[in-house]
């Protein structure tokens, strides 16, 4: 009896923790929209919601013992790269690199505990809780990075074409980027504003370096690295962009193929339940007849 009560108690605690934690994690997917709304509220003179600060404090309290006593004994990781990924994914509001690693480690331990706690109640539910706690945190983080990369890459070819149009009118690169900001999506605006600021404070090559560090998309880094190389070789910025026309066209083609691929996949996903329903509807009369035949 005592064992059963302990198992039930552990299951309830694990369920409450998992639901609260993954509610927090899934809410990070709307982090950009939330920040934009907070800016609008502050402009309207309303009070700012302190829920983000509360969440950050809870994460700090939970992870502090692990950071203080356990992480120093574990092989160090590349925290600089992790910090860039957290900022890129929008998770830096909730986690520092040490807090992220501590949280990931804590969830993996809880996943193993949940596996043994739920196993007497059924291996299926035990594996579900184990998978959620052990793998979901890292999966959501990688998925956040991937989604933002796709959003940035999807708008990149059009963004380059707009800049190229300004450059053809002999407008300097910094001014061209500044004029392009109203025509790009929210994902790009922050990066372009930082580019203009860094160009005015430092120089265009340094602004390009910062942009390449912040934007975690290979094609974007490659494009601007070539632009910087051409600038260092004394090639006109307009000619530098014109020389990469073919690359931009290839990017546009890749974006279109990705969109077509996603639509085809969604079509297949939608078709599967419809086919099952059609088979079930077609088979019901036969099943009914067989049941009546059996009863006779």
Biggest distance spanned by C-alpha atoms of the chain: 93
Sign of the C-alpha dihedral computed for residues 86, 90, 93 and 99 taken in this order: negative
**pLDDT-wise least confident of 1-10, 119-128, 156-165:** 1-10
11-25, 73-87, 121-135, 156-170: segment of lowest average pLDDT: 11-25
Q: Which of 58, 59, 60, 55 minimizes the C-alpha distance to 31? A: 55
In this predicted structure, the answer to whether residue 9 has a pLDDT above a threshold of 60 is no
Q: Is the pTM of this model over 0.85?
A: no
Q: Say yes or no to pLDDT of 274 above 80.
A: no
Residue 3's pLDDT band (cuts 50, 70, 90): very low
The band of 66, judged by pLDDT with boundaries at 50, 70 and 90, is confident
Q: What is the pLDDT of residues 44-65, one digit of tens each?
A: 444 444 556 677 788 888 888 8
**pLDDT at 83 > cutoff 70:** yes
Give me the pLDDT at residue 43, please: 40
pLDDT above 70 for 17:
no
93 has a pLDDT exceeding 80: yes
Over residues 183-225, the pLDDT tens digits come to 888 889 989 999 999 999 988 899 999 998 888 888 888 888 8
Distance, in Å, from the CA atom of 91 to the CA atom of 172, rounded to the nearest integer, reads: 35
Q: What is the mean pLDDT of residues 9-33?
A: 49
Res 38 pLDDT > 60 = no
Confidence grade of residue 117 (pLDDT, cut at 50, 70, 90): confident
Task: Tell me the pLDDT band of 94, cut-offs 50, 70 and 90.
Answer: confident
- Please report the pLDDT score of residue 264 as a whole number: 67
**CA–CA gap between residue 129 and residue 112 (Å, rounded):** 9
Residue range 110-118: mean pLDDT, rounded: 89
Extract the tokens encoding 252.
């546009």
Residue 232 reports pLDDT greater than 60: yes
pLDDT for 139 equals 92
């Amino acid at each position: 009896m005592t064992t059963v009560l302990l198992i039930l108690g552990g299951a309830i605690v694990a369920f409450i923790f998992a639901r609260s934690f993954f509610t927090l994690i899934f809410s990070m997917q709307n982090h950009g929209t939330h920040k934009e709304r907070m800016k609008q509220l502050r402009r309207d003179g309303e009070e700012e919601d302190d829920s983000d600060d509360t969440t950050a404090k809870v994460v700090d309290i939970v992870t502090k013992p692990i950071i203080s006593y356990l992480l120093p004994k574990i092989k160090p990781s590349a925290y600089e790269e992790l910090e860039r990924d957290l900022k890129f994914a929008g998770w830096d509001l909730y986690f520092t690199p040490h807090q992220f690693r501590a949280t990931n480690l804590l969830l993996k331990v809880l996943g193993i505990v949940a596996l043994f706690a739920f196993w007497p109640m059924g291996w299926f539910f035990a594996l579900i809780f184990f998978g959620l706690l052990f793998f979901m945190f890292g999966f959501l983080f990688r998925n956040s990075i991937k989604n933002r990369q796709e959003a940035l890459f999807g708008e990149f070819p059009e963004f380059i074409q707009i800049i190229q149009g300004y450059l053809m009118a002999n407008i300097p690169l910094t001014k061209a980027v500044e004029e392009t900001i109203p025509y790009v999506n929210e994902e790009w605006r922050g990066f372009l504003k930082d580019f203009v600021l860094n160009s005015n404070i430092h120089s265009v090559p340094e602004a390009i370096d910062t942009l390449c560090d912040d934007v975690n998309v290979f094609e974007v880094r490659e494009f601007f690295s070539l632009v910087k190389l051409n600038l260092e070789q004394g090639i006109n910025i307009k000619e530098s962009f014109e020389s990469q026309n073919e690359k931009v066209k290839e990017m546009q083609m890749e974006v279109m193929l990705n969109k077509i691929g996603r639509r085809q996949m969604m079509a297949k996903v939608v078709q599967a339940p419809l086919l099952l329903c059609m088979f079930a509807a077609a088979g019901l009369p036969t099943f009914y007849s067989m049941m009546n035949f059996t009863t006779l």
